[in-house]
Amino acid sequence: MYANEEMTTRIIPSVDGTFGYDIFVSGRRLIHQPNIPGLAGNRGFTTKSRAQITADFVVKKIRNNEMPPTVTMEDLQSLGVLKEGTQ
């Protein structure tokens, strides 16, 4: 369904100096994710890089027609976006 669509990401500011992301398909926002998916609370990622890594992972899931593109705690850990001192 989305395999051949143009997809772009944008890193967005979130609470307390953290970051989230938006994902656009053919110029239309499909996902607005201001916080870390799968974690309680409103805080985003500690760095833009971590938000971008996760956004790219979600784009890959969308391209593989995994809808909704769920992100699990295991996914976040394997991406290394929760570890302090990385990215």
Go through 47-75 and write b for each residue having 16 or more CB atoms within 10 A of its CB, e for each that does not. ebebbbbbbebbbebbeeeeeebebeeeb
Distance from the first to the final alpha carbon of the chain: 32
Q: Of all residues in the chain, what percent carry a pLDDT higher than 70?
A: 95
Burial degree of 21 (CB within 10 A; 0-12, 13-18, 19+): buried
For 12-63, what is each residue's pLDDT tens digit?
A: 999 999 999 999 999 999 999 999 998 888 999 999 999 999 999 999 999 9
Phi-psi sector, 27: left (phi>0), alpha (psi -120 to 50), beta: left
Q: What is the pLDDT of residue 80?
A: 94
Residue 72 has pLDDT above 70, yes or no: yes
